[in-house]
């Protein structure tokens, strides 16, 4: 996307691009990939549509996500380092693909989730 101005996150297709691009980075990360794939044994074809619905609700206000994300994360052997890495990838993905108010909202929501989960897990 060089020499092209970035647009904001505006559609469900934009959210899907964000989520897919982000999880590509997660799956290539030596710290995070084992947690997702070996410990949590995420079933990506099932997980990704849930993530689309989750982020559509947070960024675009589209109803449809049903779930409680924290309990699934509470028992994982993760530290603040994992959350920091997750946030770096999330911020970088947003910044590589989008710019605007919804992109900022996405980053703020990601930071809030990371902070809340760490607090609940006794990491902060």
In this predicted structure, what is the pLDDT of residue 91? 98
The predicted-structure confidence for 11-42, as pLDDT tens digits, reads as follows 999 999 999 999 999 999 999 999 999 999 99
- Structure tokens belonging to residue 106: 């996405």
Per-residue pLDDT at 72: 86
Residues of the chain with pLDDT under 70: 1-3
Tell me, what's the pLDDT at 86? 98
Q: Which residues contact 7 (CB under 8 A, 6 or more apart)?
A: 14, 98, 99, 100
Distance from the Cα of residue 42 to its chain's centroid: 14
Say what the pLDDT of residue 1 is.
Answer: 45
From residue 46, alpha-carbon distances to 42, 53, 124 in Å are 8, 12, 31
Which pLDDT value is given to residue 124? Answer: 82
Helix, strand and coil in the chain, % to nearest 5: 70, 0, 30
In this prediction, residue 13 carries a pLDDT of: 98
């Amino acid at each position: 996307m060089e020499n092209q101005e970035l647009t904001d996150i505006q559609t469900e297709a934009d959210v899907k691009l964000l989520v897919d691009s982000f999880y590509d980075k997660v799956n290539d990360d030596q710290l995070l990939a084992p947690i997702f794939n070996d410990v949590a044994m995420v079933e990506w074809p099932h997980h990704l549509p849930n993530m689309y619905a989750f982020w559509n609700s947070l960024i675009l206000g589209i109803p449809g996500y049903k779930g409680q994300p924290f309990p699934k994360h509470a028992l994982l052997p993760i530290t603040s380092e994992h959350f920091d890495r997750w946030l770096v990838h999330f911020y970088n993905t947003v910044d590589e693909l989008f710019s605007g108010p919804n992109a900022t909202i996405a980053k703020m929501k990601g930071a809030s989730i990371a902070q809340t989960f760490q607090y609940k897990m006794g990491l902060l």
